[in-house]
């Protein structure tokens, strides 16, 4: 699993889910992804949407 850190929240996501997010997030593949403080609201909404769908897991 990969840990996604956004606005002081941590999300654990599978490599498969991360790969589908990678282009959107524009980050290199790694185990810990720290999102910038000024991460766009639209990207966070997509992430939250995926979490609500059960595609991402909140730690």
Other CB atoms within 10 A of residue 3 CB: 15
CA angle 38, 49, 35 (to 5 degrees): 25
> pTM of the entire structure?
0.36
Q: Which band of pLDDT confidence, cut at 50, 70 and 90, is reported for residue 43?
A: confident
Per-residue pLDDT tens digits for 2-42: 777 766 777 676 777 666 666 555 555 555 566 666 667 77
Q: Give the residue carrying structure tokens 């992430």.
A: 47
With a CB cutoff of 8 Å and minimum separation 6, the contacts of 21 are 13, 46, 47, 50
Q: Any idea where the domains of the chain sit in the sequence?
A: 2-58
Which of 8, 26, 17 lies closest to 47, judged by CA? Answer: 17
CA gap 59, 42 in Å, rounded: 21
């Amino acid at each position: 699993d990969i840990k996604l850190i956004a606005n002081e929240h941590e999300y654990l996501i599978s490599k498969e889910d991360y790969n589908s997010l990678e282009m959107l997030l524009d980050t290199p593949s790694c185990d810990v992804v720290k999102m910038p403080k000024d991460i766009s609201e639209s990207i966070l909404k997509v992430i939250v949407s995926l979490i609500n769908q059960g595609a991402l897991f909140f730690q």
